[in-house]
Each structure stands twice: as C-alpha cells, then as structure tokens.
Amino acid sequence: MYLSRLGVLAAVASCGGTCEAPPPSDAGPADSGPDSGLTDCPDAGFLGDPDSPPDLEIIAVQPDGSFVPILDGDEVGLHTPFQGGKVILAGALLTNVELVDCGRLRVGALLRDPTQPGEPAVYNEERHVRYEPMPDRPGWAVPRLINDERNMAPNLESCGLDPYPRDTDGCEWILEVRLEDSRTREILASERLRIMPICPEDDPGDTDVPPELELEQCTCQCAANYTGGRCDKADLPKWIDPPLDCE
C-alpha cells in the first residue's frame, strides 16, 4: 500500500512542468542567479475532495527514505540524521490539498509530554516538505524524496542539549503532526497519537561510535536531563542506564 523508496524515485522521475515561485521578497539574496527559482516539479493541482477539509495520516520516515504508518501506541525509532542528534522523522500523507509551489507544504511535528497539564510540546519542528501525488493511492500526496530523508518530514529532535526531566527512549509520549498554511502557519489539519520512541539496535546514521555502542549512546543521550559530555565515546562502556524515568 505504501511506497517504497524506489517507488518514490520512480514517481519523481515522471514529474513534469514548471512551478510557480512564491512572491518575491523585497530583500532577496545578493547572489540570486538567473537560474534560481525554477525547476522541474509536479503540476499536480488539487488532490482529493475539494469540498472536504485537508486530512493527514502520520508516517515515520526511515533512514533509507522509505516510510511506515504510525498507529496509536506504536514504537517509533529514534535515528541519527545527517546533522547529528536523535530525531524522529515524523511526517504525513495528505489528502484534500492543492499541490502548488512545487508541491511545497508546511508540515509540523511536536512531541508532547502526556504527564504535564496541557500536554506541552517539549520538542517541535516545522518545515516545508515537497509533495507529489501518491501513485498507488489516488487523491493522496506523499513526501517527495529530494537529496535524502531529512527533506521528507520534520526532523523532530527528541533528545539532546535542550534537556528535559523525563526519558524519551522507552516512555510514552504524544506525537502531533500538523499541516499548516505555508504563509500564515494556520493549522489546517492535525492528528495526535500515543507513541513510544525507541533507540534502535542498529542506527545506520550513527557513525560516531562503533556499532556495538550505538544502543548505549542512544539510550544515554535520550535519558532524562541530558548534559553535554555525558555520553562521550570513552565513557559509554561504563554507562549504566538508570531506571526508566517516565514520570
């Protein structure tokens, strides 16, 4: 049902047309060249039912650019992206949306703490993601793979230097994914699910430590109250994972 990475690449290859650029800024960059602003990209128009509001289904993008749906209560892998850190690439399939501006739509992801009043977002990221029609699901749009998986979904940094007094790895959190208006940031559609972020046994993006230490590094970085230097390579073999702190 869902596209593999190969399927996404095939879909990209079939794109045609030229997209409209958004209104120019009054203060454009000094080095904008004549080639900037135009590229081949889908001219897909409206996908879905124009009389229905936008809707989404939450997905987790994988390090290889494939993706899987996230269902309520699912475990979701924490991965090391190009830029480092530990992220959940939490994105969305979309319907009842119009693909203009090269299919660029603003998607946000928030990791909320269910133990606190109001379930505040502890981590969040919003970005423009380029969408294209989903070949095997009429009326739906799928993130387009450009360069690598980081461009397919918000990079929801879920551990690290903005410390929080609660474990990320192994605790239940609320994942919210949103479609927002690209210019006003108004929320057009959103969904929340209970998830459990999990450090994977094998993290292909983590080249900083030997494979046998990847899990230790992740659990160390994603335990409560992270401080810089806590997970140094030299110290990892001595890292003792404290009791799970989900309160």
Partner 1 sequence: MLSATRFLTLSAALAALSGCPGEGPPPPGVTLPEPDQGWQFEVAEFDVPAGHEIQNCYFVEVPEDEEVCVARIEVAQEPGTHHMNVFRLGTQIDLWGEAGDVVYGDSEDRTTPCWRSGNWADWPLVVNSQQSDEGGHYDWTMPDGVVHHFAPGEVLMIQSHYVNGSTQVGEVGHVFVNFHTVPCDGTQELGTMFATNQGIDICPGDLGIEFSSSCGNGFTDPVTVIAANSHYHSRGRNFTIEPYDPIAGEYGEPFYENESWDDPLMATDLDVTITPDQRIGWHCSYDYAPPAGGTTCEDLDAINASKEPTCCYGFGGIVDASEHCNIFVYYYPKVEDFSCI
Q: Which of residues 35-94 bind partner 1 (CB under 8 A)?
A: 35-39, 41, 81-85, 87
CA 96, distance to chain mean position in Å, is 21
Residues linked to residue 121 through DSSP beta bridges, in sequence order: 112
Comparing CB distances to partner 1, the nearer of 146 and 196 is 146
- Minimum distance from residue 58 beta carbon to partner 1 (Å): 15
According to the binding rule CB under 8 A, does residue 128 interact with partner 1? Answer: yes
- Minimum distance from residue 150 beta carbon to partner 1 (Å): 5
Q: Which of residues 190-229 bind partner 1 (CB under 8 A)?
A: 227-229
- Minimum distance from residue 97 beta carbon to partner 1 (Å): 18
**3-state SS assignment for residue 188:** strand
Please, is 5 exposed, middle or buried when counting C-beta atoms within 10 Å of its C-beta (0-12, 13-18, 19+)?
middle
Closest of 77, 85, 241 to residue 175, by C-alpha: 77
**3-state SS assignment for residue 49:** coil
Q: What is the rounded CA–CA span in Å between residue 107 and residue 104?
A: 10
List Cβ neighbours of 117 (8 Å cut-off, separation of 6 or more): none
Comparing CB distances to partner 1, the nearer of 48 and 189 is 189
According to the binding rule CB under 8 A, does residue 7 interact with partner 1? Answer: no
Q: Which residues bind partner 1 (CB under 8 A)?
A: 19, 21-22, 24-33, 35-39, 41, 81-85, 87, 101-102, 104, 106, 108, 110, 118-122, 124-128, 146-148, 150-151, 155, 157, 160-164, 176, 178, 182, 185, 227-229, 232
